[in-house]
Amino acid sequence: MAKTAEDFASAQKEIGVAEFFARNRHLLGFDNKLKALLTTVKEAVDNALDACEEAEILPEVAVEIIEMEPERFRVIIEDNGPGIVKKQIPRIFAKLLYGSKFHRLRMSRGQQGIGISAAVLYAQLTTGRPVKIMSKTGPTEKAHYFELHIDTKKNEPEIIKDELMDWPKDHGVRIELDIEAQYQKGPRSVDSFLKYTAITNPHATLIYTNPKAEQLIFARVSDVLPPLPQEIKPHPYGVELGNLLQMLKSADSLNISSFLQSEFSRVSPQVAKELCQVASILPTTKPDEISRDQADALIKAIKQTKIMGPPTDCISPIGEELLLKGLKKEINAEFYAAVSRVPDVYRGNPFVIEVALAYGGEQSSEEQVNLLRYANRVPLLFQQGADAATKAITSVDFKPYGLSQSRGAIPVGPCTIAVHIASVWVPFTSESKEAIAHYPEILKEMKLAFQEVGRKLASYVSKKQRVGHELKKRSYIEQFVPHVADTLIELLELPAAKKADIERNLITILEQERGEIKEIAQENTEFDENFAQIGDEEEKDEF
């Protein structure tokens, strides 16, 4: 019975990546049937939008979900992107850990090369059906049609069908998956996901047919594509010893000084010199002759040296104007405001925080603010409690801005607040990409953005209150006008017929004295600067 080392040896074997993720599907967002439906749509839509933007095509993405039998759905996503060349189709859809986005530093929705193939794996496990792909790369090409399985032992595609087809479309990809799932409406549904996606992607048209055969069209409101973000080199502040050693080993540079300048961003000849000096390394040393201890000294030197922040053209924020457009088309409200912060950096990765707000309208004033969280334009629907945005919003005092709030809670009021982080590498708390980790730099930027947009809100809410108060006071005074007129007629012994004139005059005086309501409403934003004081007063008013 007792086992020896030899017995153990015979049982040891390699575990397939696909086998691993099949068993650990919760890591990739397939923990239950509701979430599986959303994750499948999300991965396909993310890829479609990424591909369209890289190819500089205004995206048009159609999503269709059909209930085939109880808890079995067919999900079809079709885009007008550049298409995928024949050779790549099997591996992109039927091999986990394969893609173009993992090895580069540039903002995109996908990061890991695992999302869509995980959906294919999930489909295969739950319904046994292959993924069906149609891809066309140009108007004169034929479309390639594939049916694919994943060989889970080898993590390689298994081609069931490979055909040429006619497809009345210039270019694009269509993917069809049969999965075990559940569909329901609500804040974490596919319906919400697409609506929220429309807000941060005002340049995209989304056409959605839900399982109840209702069609929703989220039409684009901007014909301008977001500027294509540039790929950057890693910033020295983000490098670890292990990575550095590997880079040194496979380096082409002649010496460590040129290595540092060519492999990292923001390392000028001067900075390279300084780093070598601090680390006591000759700048002429060959990279592959740098020892582990020297590399360690280099890492320590980087930490001590002031290096300019990374370039920020690797990220493409949405911008205040487009954020407002996006929000206006999806949320009915009275007042809108948006803030796009300047880029900041965490662990060598640049990022931008943007916040937009829609206030009033039909939104309930009794409920918590509807907090919409986004990462690289993708809505995050799960794990709000774990997200940096939640921590940041609860650390801001919203009462001066006209919302009510319990200490440490999300504010309450008729308000939707969208917060967006754009980055080359979004630090998610888990691989299912549901929440942003609590990096201090990110928390700080979020907090500043909430405050900035809060001040804009304060100005509006405060004016609205002043207009309201003024109207109330006037209608109050106006009640007395006829009585004052009567008294004047009596006192001055005027003819009763003058009453109408007197009343008119009194109202004219009143208007001159108290000013036009229109003017109050048009008062300029110089007012904004006193927001804090006004905020304080409002707060006192409440109690």
Q: Which 70-99 positions form the footprint of its own copies (CB under 8 A)?
A: 82-85, 87-88, 91-92, 95, 97-99
Q: Report, in Å, the least distance between residue 464 CB and its own copies.
A: 40
- State which residue, 26 or 474, has the beta carbon closest to its own copies: 26
| Spatial contact of 379 and 372, defined as CB atoms under 8 Å apart | yes
- Which tokens sit at 37? 């439906």
**Binding string, 140-179, against its own copies, x = CB under 8 A?**
------------x------------------x--------
Residue 223, CB-side half-sphere exposure with 13 Å CA sphere: 0
- State which residue, 112 or 368, has the beta carbon closest to its own copies: 112
DSSP-assigned states of every residue in 261-307: HHHSTT--HHHHHHHHHHTT--TTS-GGG--HHHHHHHHHHHHHS--
Restricted to residues 172-211, the positions that interact with its own copies (CB under 8 A) are: none
List 416's β-bridge partners, or say none: 358, 370
- State which residue, 89 or 458, has the beta carbon closest to its own copies: 89
Q: Report, in Å, the least distance between residue 398 CB and its own copies.
A: 26
Contact flag: residue 316 with its own copies (CB under 8 A): no
Instruction: Report the alpha-carbon distance of residue 350 to residue 310 in Å, rounded.
Output: 6
CA 75 to chain centre: 23
Residues 6+ apart with CB under 8 A from 327: 199, 336, 338, 356, 357, 358, 416, 418
Q: Report, in Å, the least distance between residue 473 CB and its own copies.
A: 48
Q: Report, in Å, the least distance between residue 123 CB and its own copies.
A: 8
Contact flag: residue 129 with its own copies (CB under 8 A): yes
Q: Report, in Å, the least distance between residue 101 CB and its own copies.
A: 9
**Binding string, 242-271, against its own copies, x = CB under 8 A?**
xxxxx-------------------------
Restricted to residues 428-447, the positions that interact with its own copies (CB under 8 A) are: 429-431, 437
Q: Report, in Å, the least distance between residue 176 CB and its own copies.
A: 16
Q: Report, in Å, the least distance between residue 17 CB and its own copies.
A: 6
Instruction: Report the alpha-carbon distance of residue 423 to residue 350 in Å, rounded.
Output: 6
Task: Write out 474-522 in H/E/C secondary structure.
Answer: HHHHHHHHHHHHHHHHHHHCCCHHHHHHHHHHHHHHHHHHHCCHHHHHH
Restricted to residues 287-306, the positions that interact with its own copies (CB under 8 A) are: 292, 295-296
Q: Report, in Å, the least distance between residue 405 CB and its own copies.
A: 24
Q: Tell me, what DSSP letter sits at residue 232?
A: B
Instruction: Report the alpha-carbon distance of residue 135 to residue 475 in Å, rounded.
Output: 68
Distances (CA, A) of 474 to 429, 460, 507: 56, 21, 10
Contact flag: residue 100 with its own copies (CB under 8 A): yes
Q: Which one among 33, 54, 142, 370 touches its own copies, defined by CB under 8 A? A: 54
Q: Which one among 39, 40, 80, 127 touches its own copies, defined by CB under 8 A? A: 127
Q: Which one among 40, 108, 124, 363 touches its own copies, defined by CB under 8 A? A: 124
- The Cβ of residue 478 has, within 10 Å, a number of other Cβ atoms equal to 13
Give the strand pairing for 205-209 and 60-69. parallel
Contact flag: residue 51 with its own copies (CB under 8 A): yes
Restricted to residues 27-46, the positions that interact with its own copies (CB under 8 A) are: 27
